[in-house]
Amino acid sequence: MAAARTWSRRGLVALLLLAMIFPSLLSPSDATSTYLRRRQVLKRLNKPPLATIQSPDGDIIDCVHISRQPAFDHPLLKDHTIQMQPSSQPSGLYGEATRPFTQTWNQNGEKCPNNTIPIRRTNEQDVMRATSLTTFGKKTHDRSPHPHSHGWCHKRPLPYATGDANYYGTKVTINVWQPTIATSGDFSLSQLWISAGSYDNKDLNTIEIGWQVYPAMYGDDKTRLFIYWTRDAYNETGCYNLACSGFIQTNPQFVIGGSISPVSTYGDTQYEYDYLVWKDPAGGNWWLQVQGNNVGYWPSSIFTLLQTGVADSVEWGGEVDSPQITTPMGSGHFPEEGFGKATYSRAIQVVDSSNNLKPPNGVGLIAPLPSCYNVMTGSSSTTSWGTYIYYGGPGCPQNSQIEVM
């Protein structure tokens, strides 16, 4: 505690010195206000732990009582009763990955006490890397003309389900990579999307889960498990991981935002994991399952369209935010290179109104920048791959002239 107070004083002194050196940029009162607001954010996010674990990757993992997690700061969840297990899970699952899901923090057998969940501690540097305190832990998106783009100009080939009007969830198996990020503000990820509404109407509801490399968020280039949600097209609500109230975690074995290790190697061992999100038929909450383990859920009450309704779109694939289009997606290799070399999402299924998993009726493809990142799809009825996609690419040479469609 003494060390924490020392660092707090040092942080305040540093900000005051900055204000003295650059008075036109930051007055002493502004410096004090910014510092205090940053401390308030950290206090809100970092709940008092019952135990603490030092992860080999440098993260500090706080074991927080399940009833004290950030979700319950949400005004709609003040009297919420935790649903420890879903009432049922979809039938018809196939093509499951066989390896256990492995994260760095507990590879030496560490675990949190009973009735607690592990939460990656947010430090002051994490908050300072954000463009502002209000945008910490949030996505920012620009408008895009394509109806399946959700309104952002981030670069991504976009496979999406076709042939159904309603979706009650989706499942996918994705191999994990560690792409090299070109600049610290870029990110690269692979994920699934469940959504309803539209960006234009500012009523877009999304649920997102996958892996990402995002130095500006985490302060390193490690591959990490992430989640995201919004109910207003990324305007005011929602966030990554547990950076705001919303998602309720029930499983003590997963650190959301924690690093994944090992990752796939080009031309060698492939590490892949299953992700399943579905709407619980009994309570309407949206449950998350990773590698066959129930991790937690998004309460239906935090949504609008996904609260009483279901998704009108499900998608899978990769996304890159790289203004210069120089950060690779996935393995950094094009889909034509195939297994062991390209990123894939396989055994793709959607959940129907009877809580059954089935292959999508069809898969539509969009590749706005095929010379930078591309996508291809296929289907196999004789293997565990079922409906699958390969996607990714190295990006494009810096300053290349490319028209974004």
The tokens describing 224, both together, are 């990490």
Tokens 């005051």 identify what position?
16
- For residue 319, indicate whether it is catalytic: yes
Handedness of CA 314, 349, 245, 221 (dihedral sign): negative
- For residue 403, indicate whether it is catalytic: no
Please give the Cα distance from 90 to 113 (Å, whole number): 30
Please give the Cα distance from 146 to 161 (Å, whole number): 15
> 10 Å Cβ neighbour count for 65?
15
Q: Is 113 helix (H, G, I), strand (E, B) or coil?
A: coil
Please give the Cα distance from 320 to 306 (Å, whole number): 26
Spatial CA neighbour of 88 closest among 385, 305, 357: 357
Residues 6+ apart with CB under 8 A from 99: 271, 272, 273
Q: Are 266 and 341 in contact (CB under 8 A)?
A: yes
The tokens describing 235, both together, are 């305007």
Active-site position among 208, 272, 336, 337 = 208
Tokens 């969940």 identify what position?
117
Please give the Cα distance from 68 to 49 (Å, whole number): 9
Dump the DSSP string for 3-57.
Answer: HHHHHHHHHHHHHHHHHHH-TTT--HHHHHHHHHHHHHHHHHHSPPPSEEEE-TT
Active-site position among 272, 319, 336, 403 = 319
Instruction: Count how many Cα atoms sit within 13 Å of the Cα of residue 327 in the half-sphere of its side chain.
Output: 28
Instruction: Give, in order, the Cα–Cα distances in Å from 230 to each of 8, 55, 196, 307.
Output: 33, 30, 11, 12
Residues annotated as catalytic are 208, 319
